[in-house]
Structure 1
Amino acid sequence: MIHTSIHTVDNPAEPSELAVAIRIGQYMLDQYGTVDTADVFAYAQAHGGLAESLRILLRALGAAPTAEQQAAPRCPAAHPDDPTPCDGPLVVTVLDATNAGADGCEHHGARLLASIDGGRVYAPAGAAIRVFKAAGTIRPFAWVDRGERA
């Protein structure tokens, strides 16, 4: 007679980091693979979710990006002396009185608009209104003289 024994495992092995990263990537792509680009909030949320899932996948593969690679480039509307980060994708164009302009995120678009005379903002309706209203509450060159950092 042959005796066999069956071993049950009460704690199955944890999935590998790569398996988890793959599942997260698949989930995020399913959730955010297509986004209505007219919805700025949904677009920004999708960008953040997909960027984070890519970072998780790269870390699981042992290829995590360096700090330099992770530093996000700033939008053209951001003043070089303004230390604040962008708050999303390029969604507005701010023009001055001579029609010179810069594309930017809503945050830097509002700060630029507040800092120029005779400026105009062009964007999808919701973003343009938000930037115009925000610019009305910001003093020109808000980052100067106050040591502002965020």
Structure 2
Amino acid sequence: MIHTSIHTVDNPAEPSELAVAIRIGQYMLHQYGTVDTADVFAYAQAHGGLAESLRILLRALGAAPTAEQQAAPRCPAAHPDDPTPCDGPPVVHIHDSANAGAEGCEHHGAQLLAVIKDGRSVALPHAEPGTASRVFTAAASIRFFASHDGGGR
């Protein structure tokens, strides 16, 4: 079956996938190109919007990333040698005794807290109530990560 369409001034042709992707990209860049990084929710929303518009653009160009290239980014608290994935977005900031630290998902936040001396977990503004306590409690009962030779505390 051959699909035909009539193109008139009143019925312009549908825009191409690339034209749509470009317009979405322009819109997202206008909406989220500059975001107050102190506003974690706005920053996360901007990242998601820009990442999705880039995926749409790459798909329209026939250059969509492979499954291997789409590995989920890991939170800053994840140790490079830890093979486990994040269990969600960063929800806590783990601080050491000098007040240095990193943001992490509950899983990696607890693992980091398990190996630092005099550490504490502080929930990020968007985290559910009780998140910091759950991370702190989990850290008390786990090793850093299963393949880590140094053990926990």
TM above 0.5, yes or no, is yes
Q: Answer with 109-118 or 67-76: which moved more.
A: 109-118
Q: Percent identity?
A: 60
Q: CA deviation digits over 1:68-115, x for unaligned, max 9?
A: 2221331341252543345159x84532x5x59652335456434663
Matched residue, 2:59: 59
Gaps of 5+ in 2: 1-6, 146-153
* Higher alpha-carbon Rg: 1
| 1:137 alignment partner AA | R
Q: Structure 1 pair 38/92, CA: closer, same or farther in 2 (3 Å)?
A: same
Matched residue, 1:134: 131
Whether contact under 8 Å (1:44, 1:88) holds in the other structure is no
Matched residue, 1:39: 39
Question: In the aligned structure 2, how far is the partner of 1:86 from the partner of 1:44?
Answer: 13
Cα distance, 1:63 vs structure 2:
1.0
Instruction: Give the TM-score normalised by the residue count of structure 2.
Output: 0.64
Which of 82, 86, 89 does residue 87 from structure 1 map onto? Answer: 89
Gaps of 5+ in 1: 1-6, 145-150
Question: In the aligned structure 2, how far is the partner of 1:113 from the partner of 1:23?
Answer: 42
Question: In the aligned structure 2, how far is the partner of 1:100 from the partner of 1:111?
Answer: 17
Question: In the aligned structure 1, how far is the partner of 2:68 from the partner of 2:51?
Answer: 15
Cα distance, 1:39 vs structure 2:
0.2
2:72 is the alignment partner of 1:68: no
Question: In the aligned structure 2, how far is the partner of 1:129 from the partner of 1:41?
Answer: 7
Question: Number of matched residues?
Answer: 133
Q: CA deviation digits over 1:103-139, x for unaligned, max 9?
A: 23354564346635621357xxx72795994131242
Cα distance, 1:67 vs structure 2:
1.7
Q: Pairwise CA RMSD of aligned residues?
A: 3.9
